[in-house]
Structure 1
Amino acid sequence: MASLPVVNQPAHRVGALIDHLARRLRLRSETVLEPLGLRPRHLLALTLVRDRDGISQQTLASTLEMDGTNVVGLLNDLEREQLVERRRSPEDRRRHTVSLTEAGAKTLAKAEFALAAVEDEVFCALDTDQRETLYRLLQTASNGEQPICTETIPDC
């Protein structure tokens, strides 16, 4: 019988911890977004529309990595609640641009405030410096880059 190759494994596996924290964040986030009539995908779209006012539907679909048909449904939800508005692009009348309404900006601000409280709850055991270090490490890992060595990130 052939033996399995030995895989060198670190003493601590982070995947399960990240998954656990992500699940806690997701569940709490969904709970605080529901009273605002939002789901996480709505929040993502609203944030992108705020940050890139006048974004085209096509660019929004590409950025969200969603099919154009699904983005239309997502925007229909947001437009129905008067959180965004679509207009014909002045440069190309076949395309639509999306902008945040005043109600959308207020709802997004409430959502971000509520989500900050969720992060405070989930990460209450970490001080400000530790949270910043965690953020930088996760950002580095998500970008697939080598970490930038600092005093707060030892042994890199």
Structure 2
Amino acid sequence: MDAGEQFAVELARVSRQWRKRIDERLRHLDLTQARWMVLLQLSRMGAPVSQRELADIVGVEGPTLVRVLDNLERQGLVERRACNADRRVKLIELAQGAGPVIAEIGRIAAGLRQELLEGVPAGELERARELLKIIADRLESGPRG
């Protein structure tokens, strides 16, 4: 296995295990990975977003997102409303009661991040971030041939 392949394997392993650990720590909030990811994206956006845009951002198919939103709506964490410009479009936004849940997700994620990155020099983290940004930018620019 060459260095690039080893890197890809480790990156996938870290990503999978990190999400698994957060899932375990958020279980008491009745939040699956799909639910907390939607909540975090909505909180970062700060404005209502269409279901289609949200599905693209989160990386799921429309029907999958509908089920996630149904559950979040039942939990009182998101609201759906018709768009004034196009009544066929549903806009999604955080419900008023979502604030404490978002804060708890942030607290738990920060604690895990601190735990996992403890002792790693800031310079190494910055170099790793730069490398991941290069890879992400290439992935987002689309196919290269």
CA deviation profile, 1:101-137 (whole Å, cap 9, x unmatched)? 2221221121021011111222223133322332222
Q: Distance in 1 between matches of 2:77 and 2:7?
A: 38
Counterparts of 1:69 and 1:19, CA distance in 2: 26
Matched to 1:17, the amino acid is E
Deviation larger for 74-83 or 108-117? 108-117
Q: 1:25 aligns to what?
A: 18
Does the residue aligned with 1:90 lie in a helix, a strand or coil?
coil
Supply the RMSD in Å over aligned alpha carbons: 2.3
Task: Report the TM-score when normalising by structure 1.
Answer: 0.76
Is the CA contact 1:42–1:78 (under 8 Å) kept in the aligned structure 2?
yes
Per-residue CA shift, 1:42-88, capped at 9, x if unaligned?
12211222233210112212323322221111100110111111111
Q: CA deviation at 1:10?
A: 4.1
1:11–1:93 CA distance, 2 compared to 1 (3 A)? closer
Q: Which runs of 5+ in 1 are unaligned?
A: 1-6, 146-156
Task: From the CA coordinates, give the structure whose radius of gyration is larger.
Answer: 1
Correspondences of 1:1-156 after superposition (within 5 Å): 9-10=2-3, 13-52=6-45, 53-144=47-138
Task: Give the superposition deviation at 1:39.
Answer: 1.6
Query: 2: CA distance between counterparts of 1:111 and 1:79?
Result: 17
Following the alignment from structure 1 to structure 2, what is the Cα–Cα distance between the partners of residues 75 and 11? 38
Residue identity matched to 1:76: D
Instruction: Answer whether contact 1:46 1:108 (CA < 8 A) is retained.
Output: yes
The runs of 5 or more residues in structure 2 that have no matched partner are 140-145
Distance (Å, rounded) in 1 between the aligned partners of 2:123 and 2:104: 25
TM-score, structure 2 normalization: 0.81
Report the AA paired with residue 95 of structure 1: V
Instruction: Please report how far the alpha carbon of residue 15 of structure 1 lies from its aligned counterpart in structure 2 after TM superposition.
Output: 2.6
Secondary structure of the equivalent of 2:10?
helix
Higher helix share: 2
Call closer, same or farther: CA 1:23–1:48 in 2, change over 3 Å: closer
* 1:79 alignment partner AA: E
Indicate the larger mover: 11-20 or 84-93: 11-20
CA spacing shift, 1:95–1:17, aligned 2, 3 Å: closer
